[in-house]
Amino acid sequence: MAPTKKGVLERLNAGEVVIGDGGFVFALEKRGYVKAGPWTPEAAATHPESVRQLHREFLRAGANVMQTFTFYASDDKLVNRGQKLAFTGQQINEAACDLAKEVANEGDALVAGGICQTPSYLSCKSESEVKAIFKKQVDVFVKKNVDFLIAEYFEHVEEAEWAVQVLKATGKPVAACLCIGPEGDLNSVSPGDCAVRLVKAGAQIVGVNCHFDPMTCVEAVRLMKEGVERAGLKAHYMCQPLAFHTPDCNRQGFIDLPEFPFGLEPRILTRWDMHKYAREAYKVGIRFIGGCCGFEPYHIRAVAEELAAERGILPPASEKHDLWGKGLEMHTKPWVRARSRRDYWETLKPASGRPDCPSMSHPEGWGVTKGHADLIQHAEATSAQEIQHLLQMQKKAKSSA
């Protein structure tokens, strides 16, 4: 069946909307299969049923793309800080490809092989060393013949360029996403300049993923688009943001929020927030619209429902929803039936039920970047002494804020 599918560039060139999937590491952390901290995807090999089921849910929600669950599946990352895994990087990457392909073929979805930033880069390894790391994963993607490739979650545009160059060599379509907001990458390269560099490196689709809430990400992609057009270049645009509200973030995104990663619940977007995201992304000219950390299947469904007219189709899971809460017409309580309408949900300001909590947080702003001693990778577990050192750093960072 796969050969008859339209490729990602054909779809985008034809003006179609391509719906991405949601974030696997956060969803599977909540389901019990990913550890927050290393965030590695060994569950593809150890618990394939959990990964397969999540793929299916996103497919059912309307996703046209099954990203292989290969985030942080680079060999250098898998051994970080005392982690010992029963599977090799190659085995994990292969298992992930098989699962993505199996489910993609249950519908009209494409398989995208994904790579992301590496501890090697943060530890100041050379370009060729970093590229060799990427190459190992890409070899699997080529062997498994995925439909296209995504380089995503890069904080430094330089590393993303290297990744795009490696991906480009395969001949497959290449998408590239930085995890930046409107302020630019960690070296203050603006979104527009980042995008131009990624396009010049060979990416046909550019955008951002993770680190910021949908509206912030859409604005960053809009700036990318402006930059590309100003440079007289051409590209397609994609956006895969967080499903968390982050109005209080600094340049480093939600990693710096005090709630990351175990206290983010009150920030989770509602499905109605997702309608606004999908509409805004569409307006700005983004046509590859998906999600990252925090996106559950119902969030992707909301994106697909908002763009149902443009796409000419509702996702399968809408049989269990009906647009704008119309399914509530079947609720027992009459006041809940009275909510089965768009204007109710569109204007609701949801309370947090947390009157002892503030609305905004102060992100940590340690200001350490690539090359700083505390960022260098090592294979041993974190020691108690190291933690003491970090607590002192934190105190210093807070008092100077």
Q: Where in 36-75 is the site for its own copies (CB under 8 A)?
A: 36-39, 49-50, 53, 56-57, 60-61
Cβ proximity to its own copies, 173 vs 315, nearer residue: 315
| 91 touching its own copies, by CB under 8 A | no
Cβ proximity to its own copies, 191 vs 297, nearer residue: 297
The helix or strand, by DSSP H or E, that contains position 65, with its residue range, turns out to be: strand 65-67
Tokens of 205: 């689709």
357 among annotated binding-site residues: no
Stretch that binds its own copies, among 86-94, 156-164, 233-241, 262-270 (CB under 8 A): 262-270
Longest dimension (CA), the chain: 65
Closest contact distance (angstroms) between CB of 43 and its own copies is 8
| 394 touching its own copies, by CB under 8 A | yes
How many angstroms separate the CA atoms of 42 and 33, rounded? 9
Which amino acid appears at position 275 of this protein?
A: H
Phi-psi region of 27 (alpha: psi -120 to 50; beta: other; left: phi over 0): alpha
Closest contact distance (angstroms) between CB of 261 and its own copies is 8
Pairing of strands 236-240, 205-209: parallel
* Among 64, 153, 145, residue whose Cα is nearest residue 103: 64
Ranges within 310-349 binding its own copies (CB under 8 A): 316-317, 319-322, 325, 327-338, 340-341, 345, 348-349
**Binding residue (CB under 8 A) for its own copies from 202, 248, 279, 308:** 248
The helix or strand, by DSSP H or E, that contains position 218, with its residue range, turns out to be: helix 214-230
Is 141 in a helix, a strand, or coil?
helix
**Binding residue (CB under 8 A) for its own copies from 93, 120, 216, 246:** 246
Q: Which residues are bridge partners to 237 per DSSP?
A: 206
Ranges within 120-149 binding its own copies (CB under 8 A): 122
194 among annotated binding-site residues: no
- CB-based contact 58:28 (threshold 8 Å): no
217 among annotated binding-site residues: no
Cβ proximity to its own copies, 202 vs 261, nearer residue: 261
Closest contact distance (angstroms) between CB of 198 and its own copies is 22
Ranges within 138-197 binding its own copies (CB under 8 A): none
Phi, psi of 240 (to 5 degrees): -135, 80
| 266 touching its own copies, by CB under 8 A | yes
How many angstroms separate the CA atoms of 401 and 396, rounded? 9
String of contacts with its own copies for each residue 200-229, x by CB under 8 A: -------------x----------------
How many angstroms separate the CA atoms of 29 and 43, rounded? 10
**Binding residue (CB under 8 A) for its own copies from 264, 281, 292, 307:** 264
Phi, psi of 75 (to 5 degrees): -60, -35
Closest contact distance (angstroms) between CB of 40 and its own copies is 9
